[in-house]
Chains A and B, each alone.
Chain A
Amino acid sequence: MAELSDQLMAFTVLAYLAAMVCYAAEYAFGNRSHIGRAATRPARQLVGAGAPAEVVPPDDETAPPRDRGVLLGLIGVGLTWLAFALHLGTVVTRGLAAGRMPWGNMYEFILAVTLVGSAVWLGVLTRKPAVRHLGLFTTLALVVLLGAAGLIAYTPVSPLVPALNSYWYIIHVSTIILASGILLIGAVPAAMFLVRAGYDRGKRSFPYTLGAKVPPAEALERLTFRLHAFAFPLFTFGALIAGPLWAEASWGRYWGWDPKEVWAFISWVVYAAYLHARATPSVKRSTATWIALIGFVTMLMNLFGVNLFFEGLHSYANAGGM
């Protein structure tokens, strides 16, 4: 079962890569017109996420795709679904092989976070097909993270150490995985909003040129906010309520400034700053979005930096043998 999981992992990365290539091809060769239409469509229709009934499928989704670009994009979407299924298989077989929830070390944690990210991305894509043009960047993020998991953090299947043998292991880690996965996907529209906003202001140098073919700035900004506003309470619960409850039972204190705790605190403060900045009319939306991206960097720091460079109580999250 463990070998099956490892093989599925390889196919998962390949499938995401293939999807990425399709998105990239659509990006490069796609007919500009339908993207232009998507860009000029009233923002209200694109962003009516609270009201799925109202979302009108863009006509290029309902009509048989005529130009090659759209076809490639749709193949990309199909491949993303396939990759997601393989990814799910990887995580499930890993859990079966270990006989426990599959998030006991850094490798499994990244696998689970990216699975959530992939699921959230597919969910957004289903409700708002027009965001498909972000696919290149989401699959890129997934491939990079999965590659890092396989190369830096791979650990053979092993059972849990006694310190992790608690129901809090399921509650604390799963909510943090959910929140991290959503914040991971949230960083993609955040970055693309900044690119698109720069493009709209007339910047034509790289990376702003990428903004030519992504959804309109307002839609990206709103998607960014919705993802963050959903993930922030989850992260609060996972890191600042369930985590301390477990720490109290296990280590005797609910908060002890362990490096992992420090960086969770930093991420929380930065994301709180993002939500405040966005709720303040005098702060520009691009400034607020930069804060969200800084938040994402702190999350990456907590995942990679703290696990690999700092010694702390959360060290069972470490890559094998490090």
Chain B
Amino acid sequence: MPAAEPPPRRPNRVWALLRNSWRQLTSMRTALVLLFLLAVAAIPGSVLPQRAVNVENVAGYFRDHPDLAPFLDRLGGFDVYASPWFASIYLLLFTSLVGCVVPRLLDHFRALRTVPPDAPRRLERLPQHAAAEPRPDDPAAAAATVAASLRRRRFRTVVRESPDGTWTVSAEKGLLKETGNLLFHFALLAVLIGVGFGHWYGWHGNRLLVQGTDVGFCNSLTQYDESSLGPRLGAADLPFFCLRLTDFQASYQSSGQPKSFGADADVQTAHDGPWRPVEFTVNHPLRLPQANVHLLGHGYAPILRYTDRFGQQQTKIVPFLPRDQMLTSEGVAQFPDVNIDPKTNQRDEDLQVAFEGVFLPTVDPKGGATSVYPAERDPALFLTAYRGNLGVDAGLPGSVYALDRGQLANGQLKQVSGERPQRLTVGQSWTLDDGTKLEFLGTRQFATLAVRYDPTQPLVLGGAVLGLLGLMLSLSGHRRRVWFRVTPPAGSEPGAGGSLMEAGGLPRTDYPGFQEEFEQVVAAARGAGAQDERTP
């Protein structure tokens, strides 16, 4: 006992406030509120288009709602999951979680090391109780048999002897429930850490790759149409590989619904190393060291040859982007460096040429404007010709899949073909008003690829699997204690033989089946004694 109480002290206000805030933050009520906030805060990300998911949709939203969109953008409405308010909710939640589970982890270690406590004085006050019954063996032997029977049921068991000749057996089971619960919560932390590091050290790039050994690409940021690097990563950190698409197969149902896609490619993973053939498809990405190549989509790239006023020829393979399931595809072939006078070597910017239009792999025999089948059964191009300044020399980034509308509007670029687009089938050529000529030589297929790498994926997966394991343990187990007290029969000398045994049980968690288990445990303990009596 302490000799004297510590002198009354004025509590430090700041300390008290901090302590109370911490207690408040780590309370279950706060955790529940934060869980709810997290769920509610996630909703806008499904309602509003997200930059991380689809940039074009965000641009579309800005066009459709010019007043509302900038306001929502300031609130982080198009980057919900990277916004400060979303981050503050989950960081508070995880702080609350750490504050809750770390003390519990220490408690649990203590509980795992300590032996089950001695029996309470009055077992009949416990939720479960079995009244004293006589046994033939003496208390020490009875306690040993009961303990053995409990250990067989995988209880942690301790036998104690009191000076008055009474023996108690204390047993506990179900610590795995708390183990699982803690495992679940620490696994969640591992997942969060994994996601964070994956964001820092991961990268991805998207690229459209036309079939052919002459048009491969090597892994570097400039080769991607769109890319992002984690903040802790430089452009030089990307692994080396080169890839060229040698073949692409697509098969379709008669309805036009796709049946299968497959890409054949050659890959080189070391400078001057050998090219080796690989295959990949929609659900089976090409796994390279520190990079995975995923097949996202495909389409057609018409091959077009333009012959200018001076007889110079230029050939371009121009990917047309599909806009529907039947691969009706849109695109533009731009020829900025044509009609250069060989005598002066001067380029006339007003004589640049472009052809814009659609490609139909299968023309509608009824004359519809869209393709009727995604494979090339009756392919044709429908093009409109433009001449003038394409606006590609201004140094501004523009789409390679559409003309610069500004140049059309300001009259620097003019339509030079008729109202209706010119139809071209493979092998056909089209002579324009100035005598120049466009030939449709054929098509190649292209594939759209996503190249990605996330170094912490194994950590996230491991965390998720351990979390599930912990979850199942924490939802299935029950912590409970059972005590047996064996006393010498009243009035007899110690060691005279025979004893009285009573039992009590205490479920530590909500456990409706406990009574049944308790009865079985008691019956087994009694039966164990009886069996010992029968067997010599």
Chain B associates with chain A = yes
> Would you call B46 and A232 a contact (CB within 8 A)?
no
The listed residue (B195, B253, B472, B516) touching A51 by CB distance below 8 A is B516
Q: Mark B194-218, 1 if CB is under 8 A from A, else 0.
A: 0100000000100000000000000
Q: Mark A217-250, 1 if CB is under 8 A from B, else 0.
A: 0000010000001001100110011001110111
The listed residue (A229, A232, A250) touching B282 by CB distance below 8 A is A250
A65 at the A/B interface (Cβ < 8 Å)? Answer: no
A208 at the A/B interface (Cβ < 8 Å)? Answer: no
Residue in A51, A246, A273 whose Cβ sees the most chain B Cβ within 10 Å: A273
B273 at the A/B interface (Cβ < 8 Å)? Answer: no
> Would you call A249 and B285 a contact (CB within 8 A)?
yes
The listed residue (B32, B468, B516) touching A276 by CB distance below 8 A is B32
Contacts of A246 in B (CB 8 A): 283
> Would you call B283 and A159 a contact (CB within 8 A)?
no
How long is the Cα–Cα vector from A244 to B468 in the complex, in angstroms? Answer: 14
How long is the Cα–Cα vector from A276 to B258 in the complex, in angstroms? Answer: 45
Q: 8 closest A-B pairs (Cβ-Cβ)? A: A252-B294, A166-B283, A50-B513, A262-B46, A259-B46, A273-B35, A252-B452, A269-B39
The listed residue (A229, A248, A273, A276) touching B457 by CB distance below 8 A is A248
B525 at the A/B interface (Cβ < 8 Å)? Answer: no
How long is the Cα–Cα vector from A273 to B42 in the complex, in angstroms? Answer: 15
Of A5-13, A15-23, A141-149, A277-285, the one contacting chain B is A277-285
> Would you call B257 and A257 a contact (CB within 8 A)?
no
> Would you call A48 and B285 a contact (CB within 8 A)?
no
Contacts of B471 in A (CB 8 A): 232-233, 236
> Would you call A162 and B516 a contact (CB within 8 A)?
no
Q: Mark A159-174, 1 if CB is under 8 A from B, else 0.
A: 1011101101000000
How long is the Cα–Cα vector from A199 to B81 in the complex, in angstroms? Answer: 43
B370 at the A/B interface (Cβ < 8 Å)? Answer: no
The listed residue (A251, A256, A310) touching B294 by CB distance below 8 A is A251
Contacts of A49 in B (CB 8 A): 512
Q: Mark B446-476, 1 if CB is under 8 A from A, else 0.
A: 0000111010010011001101100110010
A85 at the A/B interface (Cβ < 8 Å)? Answer: no
Q: Report if A257-B204 is in contact (Cβ < 8 Å); known contacts: A232-B471, A262-B42.
A: no
B346 at the A/B interface (Cβ < 8 Å)? Answer: no
Nearest CB of chain B from residue A223's CB, rounded to whole Å: 11
B429 at the A/B interface (Cβ < 8 Å)? Answer: no
A126 at the A/B interface (Cβ < 8 Å)? Answer: no
Chain A contacts with B in 252-287, Cβ cutoff 8 A:
252-259, 262-263, 265-266, 269-270, 272-273, 275-277, 280, 282-283
B259 at the A/B interface (Cβ < 8 Å)? Answer: yes
> Would you call A159 and B46 a contact (CB within 8 A)?
no
How long is the Cα–Cα vector from A158 to B282 in the complex, in angstroms? Answer: 19
Contacts of B285 in A (CB 8 A): 249, 252
> Would you call B516 and A54 a contact (CB within 8 A)?
yes
B23 at the A/B interface (Cβ < 8 Å)? Answer: no
Q: Report if A256-B52 is in contact (Cβ < 8 Å); known contacts: A251-B450, A266-B42.
A: yes
Residue of A nearest to B52 (CB): A257
Contacts of B29 in A (CB 8 A): 280, 282-283
B347 at the A/B interface (Cβ < 8 Å)? Answer: no
Contacts of A179 in B (CB 8 A): none
Contacts of B416 in A (CB 8 A): none
B43 at the A/B interface (Cβ < 8 Å)? Answer: yes
Q: Report if A241-B468 is in contact (Cβ < 8 Å); known contacts: A233-B475, A273-B36.
A: yes
Contacts of B451 in A (CB 8 A): 252
How many residues of B sit at the interface, in one of the four size bands?
A: 35 or more
B132 at the A/B interface (Cβ < 8 Å)? Answer: no
> Would you call A165 and B283 a contact (CB within 8 A)?
yes
> Would you call B475 and A162 a contact (CB within 8 A)?
no
Contacts of B36 in A (CB 8 A): 269-270, 273
B38 at the A/B interface (Cβ < 8 Å)? Answer: yes
Nearest CB of chain A from residue B449's CB, rounded to whole Å: 9
Contacts of B530 in A (CB 8 A): none
Q: Mark B504-518, 1 if CB is under 8 A from A, else 0.
A: 000000001101100
> Would you call A222 and B516 a contact (CB within 8 A)?
no
Contacts of A258 in B (CB 8 A): 53
How long is the Cα–Cα vector from A158 to B257 in the complex, in angstroms? Answer: 9
B88 at the A/B interface (Cβ < 8 Å)? Answer: no
The listed residue (A50, A168, A241, A262) touching B464 by CB distance below 8 A is A241
Contacts of A298 in B (CB 8 A): 39
B28 at the A/B interface (Cβ < 8 Å)? Answer: yes
B31 at the A/B interface (Cβ < 8 Å)? Answer: yes
A44 at the A/B interface (Cβ < 8 Å)? Answer: yes
Contacts of B42 in A (CB 8 A): 262, 265-266, 269
Nearest CB of chain A from residue B117's CB, rounded to whole Å: 22
Residue of A nearest to B287 (CB): A249
Residue of A nearest to B252 (CB): A162
A306 at the A/B interface (Cβ < 8 Å)? Answer: yes
How long is the Cα–Cα vector from A283 to B31 in the complex, in angstroms? Answer: 12
Contacts of B452 in A (CB 8 A): 252-253
Contacts of A269 in B (CB 8 A): 35-36, 38-39, 42
Nearest CB of chain A from residue B209's CB, rounded to whole Å: 15
B21 at the A/B interface (Cβ < 8 Å)? Answer: no
Residue of B nearest to A246 (CB): B283
Nearest CB of chain A from residue B420's CB, rounded to whole Å: 31
How long is the Cα–Cα vector from A232 to B470 in the complex, in angstroms? Answer: 12
Residue in B29, B45, B515 whose Cβ sees the most chain A Cβ within 10 Å: B45
A214 at the A/B interface (Cβ < 8 Å)? Answer: no
Jot down 24 A-B pairs with beta carbons below 8 A, ordered by A: A50-B513, A50-B516, A54-B516, A159-B257, A165-B282, A233-B472, A244-B461, A244-B464, A245-B461, A248-B457, A249-B285, A251-B450, A252-B294, A254-B461, A256-B53, A257-B46, A265-B39, A266-B42, A266-B43, A269-B35, A270-B35, A277-B32, A282-B29, A310-B46
B292 at the A/B interface (Cβ < 8 Å)? Answer: yes
Nearest CB of chain A from residue B358's CB, rounded to whole Å: 23
> Would you call A161 and B257 a contact (CB within 8 A)?
yes
The listed residue (A44, A248, A255, A306) touching B46 by CB distance below 8 A is A306
Residue in A233, A249, A282 whose Cβ sees the most chain B Cβ within 10 Å: A233
Contacts of A176 in B (CB 8 A): none
Chain B contacts with A in 113-143, Cβ cutoff 8 A:
none
Question: Beyond A168-B283, A222-B512: 4 further Cβ-contacts under 8 Å?
Answer: A165-B282, A233-B468, A249-B285, A258-B53
> Would you call B512 and A47 a contact (CB within 8 A)?
yes
Q: Mark B24-50, 1 if CB is under 8 A from A, else 0.
A: 000011011001101100110111001
> Would you call A241 and B465 a contact (CB within 8 A)?
yes
> Would you call A161 and B512 a contact (CB within 8 A)?
no
Nearest CB of chain B from residue A118's CB, rounded to whole Å: 24
B261 at the A/B interface (Cβ < 8 Å)? Answer: yes
How long is the Cα–Cα vector from A134 to B316 in the complex, in angstroms? Answer: 70
B260 at the A/B interface (Cβ < 8 Å)? Answer: yes
How long is the Cα–Cα vector from A168 to B282 in the complex, in angstroms? Answer: 13
> Would you call A237 and B283 a contact (CB within 8 A)?
no
The listed residue (B259, B296, B450) touching A159 by CB distance below 8 A is B259
